[in-house]
Amino acid sequence: MTDTVSPSHPVSYPPSPEFAAQANATADLYAAAEKDSLAFWAEQADRLHWETPYQEVLDWSDAPVAKWFVGGTLNVAYNCVDRHVADGRGDQVAIHWEGEPGDSRDITYSELLADVSRAANAFTALGLVAGDRVAIYMPMIPEAIVSMLACARLGLTHGVIFAGFSSAAVRQRVDDAGARLVITTDGQWRRGKPAPLKAAVDEAVDGAESVEHVLVVNRTGSDVDWVEGRDLWWHDTVTPASPEHTAEAFDSEHPLFILYTSGTTGKPKGILHTSGGYLTQASYTHYNVFDLKRDTDVYWCTADIGWITGHSYIVYGPLSNGATQVVYEGTPNSPDEHRHWNIVEKYGVTIYYTAPTLVRTFMKWGRQIPDAHDLSTIRLLGSVGEPINPEAWRWYREVIGGNSAPIVDTWWQTETGAIMISPLPGVTATKPGSAQTPLPGIAARVVDETKPVELGESGFLVIEKPWPSMLRGIWGDMDRYRDTYWSHFAEQGWYFAGDGARLDEDGDLWVLGRVDDVMNVSGHRISTSEVESALVGHPAVAEAAVVGASDETTGQGIVAFVILREGVENTGEALIKELKAQVATDISPIARPRDLKIVPELPKTRSGKIMRRLLRDVAEGRDLGDTSSLVDPKVFEAIRGS
Ligand code: WTA
């Protein structure tokens, strides 16, 4: 164990007897899954409503493309909405929605059903049929969730694009998916001001062949350009549609959504998820990891629907379990740093799920802010997106969790679809910084090149057996799917997650971070090559190398090294600013480099590979390690001096 636990801190935190006594998940789940994992997953699938029962739990004959719950049919939206209304829970609030400017709406399951039905009828009237793709580029408003569910209801495959992405990124995704419909808003609220959003869609879909319609929700009342025949207002199209709609069942393997994520090359990967297995695991994990009590809990996941966490733990997991949840549109410091805690108090939030980067931001703002609020309703805390450092973990537990709420540190990925490694809150004695153990039913291991490592050793994180919510491929590029995830351990048939991990002496797992060229900035995945290609796209740049340097608040910060083209004048700060802006425009403001250095040369090996390790050393201000394989070690003096 290398964790620096000071003597005054316990090494681990067992759940209180009271929590353990009422927990949904007990230790016998592990035993049941161990005994017969397929029977275990079948039991989890049976928590859902199937129209046609499945005949086989898993068909792995076409590996690495799994089929789960073979032959079964279901409707995902029915499971998330209609089912609860049919169970007499129509008046229960599904969503306490809180707008950034202070407006709010409570939406019951009956109202959600009416809204989803209206949208489904409107989408059908536009000519959309099962299998078509729909791009959703929206802020965190109820219509975004309604749109996702209406797609699911009709068997349309949605592709949500984070509303912080640039028009170029939207275009790339819309083209790759071949979306027929794009749903957006006129604008979005950001720190008290409306920012345009449809304008980016106008730019993005100009000339995009697949797009027939752009459906626009009026959110900010901003002026928009309008293309007659293509553009439609939500209030003219969806609102007047009939609130009655009968859901049709689809095959368990029907594509539910595509979500783009960064890979190690410049082009983002469209991760494909299907219906029955995805919903089974999203629902199972949400129920057991968050210990959801649908009658009493008020659950809040602070993610954005533009990311997988929003898909699985705002939309499909919680709604399939009939949860009451908070959905908040804005930033945590609008109008001030008290916003999250005001919301917790207003709705009596009991379960709060966020990212370590935000916990560290709260720490920076100071504990007097949360201390000014009654957070006593909180009984469970979650963390996701990056390793949580022990200091932040302890602060989170003490200041937000009243020294008693268990913390579930959940490891998973866009590709895994749902949580894979996490404590069970009523069972596990949690250690600050460790994601602990694979969930019941999940075969995650830490391995070296050929076999599991011993206790106390580090290695690669792999998944040995298929799991229900696993990705079914990369949209339009199955070779890349096999190559990215299945070629590293081809012989063993293990899924390669791209993360490094360590097993401690107790067999608990510590995720160490990516072992590839993917950076993790505030929990967002950004590939170094994506940022490099944005930089090289600028006429002044000849070559660029990008590394993730450790950053106290954001986990990693992006540091770029750039060589200018011959004859380009180095205008210093002005050019640096312009190059950083280029990345923000090309990808998203979240990809804007924290530091950018204009350098005369880049350190390369004799075979011409850029030595990122050395650049990282420079970026983090460390002494240089071994430079013996460099072509010309003097390059470094030049880089350091610039
Ligand atoms: C990292 C987010 C440590 C990891 C759900 C993974 C984590 C990548 C954790 C996936 C965690 C996620 N501890 N690292 N609890 N959760 N990661 O696809 O590097 O946006 O591979 O999915 O985030 O990011 P993605």
pLDDT tens digits, 389-401? 999 999 999 999 9
Render pLDDT for 448-460 as a digit per residue (tens, 0 to 9).
999 999 999 999 9
User: pLDDT value at position 620?
Assistant: 87
Q: What is the pLDDT of residue 266?
A: 66
Question: Of ligand 1's atoms, which has the minimum distance to the CA of residue 513?
Answer: 19
**Tens digits of per-residue pLDDT, 433-484?**
999 999 999 999 999 999 999 999 999 999 999 999 999 999 999 999 999 9
For the CA of 388, the closest atom of ligand 1 is: 13
Q: In what helix (H) or strand (E) does residue 596 lie, and over which residues does it extend?
A: strand 595-598
Shortest CA distance to 116 belongs to which of 283, 273, 242?
Answer: 242
CA 86 to chain centre: 31
* pLDDT higher than threshold 70 for residue 8: no
Task: Give the residue carrying structure tokens 């009243």.
Answer: 402
Q: Report residue 276's pLDDT band, with 50, 70 and 90 as the boundaries.
A: very high
Task: Supply the pLDDT for residue 191.
Answer: 87
Q: Which domains does the chain have, with CATH numbers?
A: 19-409 (3.40.50.12780), 518-640 (3.30.300.30)
> Which tokens go with 182?
């794009």
- Cα 413 to averaged position of ligand 1 atoms, centre (Å): 5
- pLDDT-derived band at 523, boundaries 50, 70, 90: confident
Q: Give the torsion sign (CA, 341, 344, 347, 353).
A: positive
Question: Looking at residue 525, what is its pLDDT?
Answer: 86
Q: What is the pLDDT of residues 330-385, one digit of tens each?
A: 999 999 999 999 999 999 999 999 999 999 999 999 999 999 999 999 999 999 99
How far, in Å, from the CA of 484 to the mean position of ligand 1?
17
CA-to-CA separations, 194 to 139, 202, 547, 635, in angstroms, rounded: 11, 17, 33, 47
Q: Residue 10, preceding bond cis, omega within 30 degrees?
A: no
**Rounded Cα–Cα distance for residues 139 and 137 (Å):** 7
Q: How far is CA 47 from CA 44, 284, 418, 587, in A?
A: 6, 8, 16, 40
Q: Which of 309, 386, 428, 588 to mutate to test the pocket of ligand 1 (most atoms within 8 A of CB)?
A: 386
The CA 418 to ligand 1 mean position distance, Å, reads 11
Tell me if 529 sits within 8 A of 264, measured CB to CB.
yes
Burial of 625 (0-12, 13-18, 19+ CB in 10 A): exposed
Q: What is the largest CA-CA distance in the chain?
A: 74
Give the full edge-to-edge strand order of the sheet including 213-217: 231-233, 213-217, 181-185, 133-136, 157-160, 255-261, 269-274, 473-474
CB atoms within 10 A of CB 401: 19
CA of 411 to the centre of ligand 1 (A): 6
CB-count exposure of residue 220 (10 Å: 0-12, 13-18, 19+): buried
Q: Residue 628's pLDDT is what?
A: 57
Question: Is the pLDDT confidence value at 595 over 70?
Answer: yes
- Percentages (nearest 5) of helix, strand, coil residues in the chain: 30, 25, 45
**What is the C-alpha separation between 268 and 280, in angstroms, rounded?**
27
User: What is the C-alpha to C-alpha distance for residues 493 and 177, in angstroms, rounded to an integer?
Assistant: 29
Would you say the CB of residue 520 lies under 6 angstroms from ligand 1? yes
User: For tokens 């950001």, what's the residue?
Assistant: 190
Residue matched to tokens 């504990």: 367
DSSP annotation string for 370-418: HHTS--TT--EEEEESSPPPHHHHHHIIIIISTTTS-EEEEB--TTT-S
> How would you write 290-338 as a 3-class SS string?
CCCCCCCCCEEECCCCCCHHHHHHHHHHHHHCCCCEEEECCCCCCCCCC
pLDDT at 5: 41
Distances (CA, A) of 382 to 446, 474, 638: 23, 29, 45
With cut-offs at 50, 70 and 90, classify the pLDDT of residue 3.
Answer: very low
Answer whether 304 contacts ligand 1 (Cβ < 6 A). Answer: no
Supply the pLDDT for residue 636.
65
Q: Residue 509 — φ and ψ, nearest 5°? A: -100, 135
C-beta of residue 431 within 8 angstroms of C-beta of residue 12: yes
Q: pLDDT over 70 for what percent of the chain? A: 95
Nearest alpha carbon, ligand 1 atom 11: 411
In terms of residues, how long is the chain? 642
Q: What is the pTM of this model?
A: 0.91
Side-chain-side CA neighbours of 441 within 13 Å: the count stands at 23
Task: Provide the token pair at 360.
Answer: 């560290």
CA-nearest residue, atom 13 of ligand 1? 387
CA of residue 384 to ligand 1 center, whole Å: 7
Q: What are the φ/ψ torsions at residue 488 (nearest 5 degrees)?
A: -60, -40
Regarding the beta carbon of 386 and ligand 1, being less than 6 Å apart is answered: yes
What does the pLDDT read at residue 515? 87
Q: Which residue's alpha carbon is at the smallest distance from atom 8 of ligand 1?
A: 413
Q: How far is the CA of 513 from the centre of ligand 1 (A)?
A: 8
| pLDDT of residue 635 exceeding 90 | no
Q: Cα of 409 to ligand 1 centre, how many Å?
A: 10
How high is the pLDDT of residue 1? 35
Report the candidate in 397, 401, 387, 414 with the shortest Cα–Cα distance to residue 313.
414
Kind plus residue range of the DSSP H or E element containing 513: strand 509-514
- 619 CA to centre of ligand 1 in angstroms: 23
- Distance CA(573)–CA(565), nearest Å, equals 17
Least Cα distance to 334 among 216, 185, 198, 194 occurs for 194
Question: Is residue 2 over pLDDT 60?
Answer: no
How far, in Å, is the centroid of ligand 1 from the Cα of 524? 9
* Phi, psi of 133, deg, nearest 5: -105, 145
Give Cα 633 distance to the centre of its chain. 40
Cα(568) to centroid of ligand 1, in Å?
A: 40
Q: Could you tell me the two tokens for 111?
A: 């109202």
Q: What span, in angstroms and rounded, lies between the C-alpha atoms of 159 and 173?
A: 8
**Which residue in 160, 134, 163, 139 sits closest to 218, CA to CA?**
139
Q: Which residues have a Cβ under 8 Å from the Cβ of 483 and sit 6 or more positions away?
A: none
Residue 582 beta carbon below 6 angstroms from any ligand 1 atom: no
Nearest-CA residue for ligand 1 atom 25 is 413
448: number of Cβ within 10 Å: 12
For the chain, first and last CA: distance in Å? 40
Least-confidence region, from 92-101, 574-583, 624-633: 624-633
CA of 497 to the centre of ligand 1 (A): 10
pLDDT 10s digits, 191-245: 889 999 999 999 999 999 999 999 999 999 999 999 999 999 999 999 999 999 9
What does each C-alpha distance from 473 to 148, 218, 257, 565 come to in angstroms? 20, 35, 11, 39
pLDDT score at 6:
47
Ligand 1 atom with least separation from CA of 410: 15
Please tell me if the CB atom of residue 435 comes closer than 6 angstroms to any atom of ligand 1: yes
Average predicted confidence (pLDDT) for the chain: 94
- Helix 37-45 / helix 28-35 crossing angle, nearest 10 deg: 120
**Triad 320, 272, 449: Cα angle to 5°:** 110
Q: Are the CB atoms for 220 and 189 separated by under 8 Å? A: yes
Q: Would the CB of 409 count as within 6 Å of ligand 1?
A: yes
Q: Is the per-residue pLDDT at 423 higher than 50?
A: yes
Prior bond of 539 cis (ω within 30°): no
Query: Nearest residue CA, atom 5 of ligand 1?
Result: 413
Q: Kindly tell me the sign of the dihedral angle through the C-alpha atoms of 178, 184, 187, 192.
A: negative
Model confidence band, residue 617 (pLDDT cutoffs 50, 70, 90): confident
Q: How far apart are CA 208 and CA 161, in angstroms?
A: 16
